[in-house]
Amino acid sequence: MKEKETAADSSELLASLVDGCKSGDQQAYERLIGLYSPRLYGYLLRLVGRPDDAEELLQEVFLRLVRSIGSYRHDGQLTAYLFRIATNVVRDRHRRKKVRPHQVAESEAAEDDAGLALGDQVAGDEPAPDASLGLRERADALNQALGRLPEEQRQVILLRHFSELPFGEIAQLMDCPVGTVLARAHRGLKRLRELLGDDIET
Partner 1 sequence: MTSKPDNMDRGLTPEDRALLGPRIADELEANVAWLAGRLDRPATPPGLSARLAQAVRGELAARRRRHRILPWSGAAAAALLLVSAMLWYSLTGVDRDDQVARITPPGLPTSTELASARPTAADADLLVENYETTVNRDVVSLVAMNRGVELLGRELDPRNDVPGGEPWAALVDSYDH
Confirm if 194 and 183 have CB atoms less than 8 A apart. Answer: no
Binding mask 103-132 for partner 1 (x = CB under 8 A): ------------------xx-xx-------
Contacts of 153 (CB under 8 A, 6+ apart): 184, 185, 187, 188, 191
> Does position 46 bind partner 1 by CB under 8 A?
yes
For residue 184, what are the CA distances in angstroms to 3, 171, 201?
A: 31, 11, 21
- Contact pick of 34, 130, 134, 175 for partner 1 (by CB under 8 A): 34
> Does position 155 bind partner 1 by CB under 8 A?
no
CA atoms in the 13 A half-sphere facing the CB of 145: 19
- Contact pick of 7, 8, 13, 66 for partner 1 (by CB under 8 A): 66
- Contact pick of 6, 38, 92, 137 for partner 1 (by CB under 8 A): 38
Closest CA to 149 of 185, 117, 188, 100: 188
> Does position 37 bind partner 1 by CB under 8 A?
yes
> Does position 15 bind partner 1 by CB under 8 A?
no
Task: Find the shortest distance in angstroms from Cβ 115 to partner 1.
Answer: 16
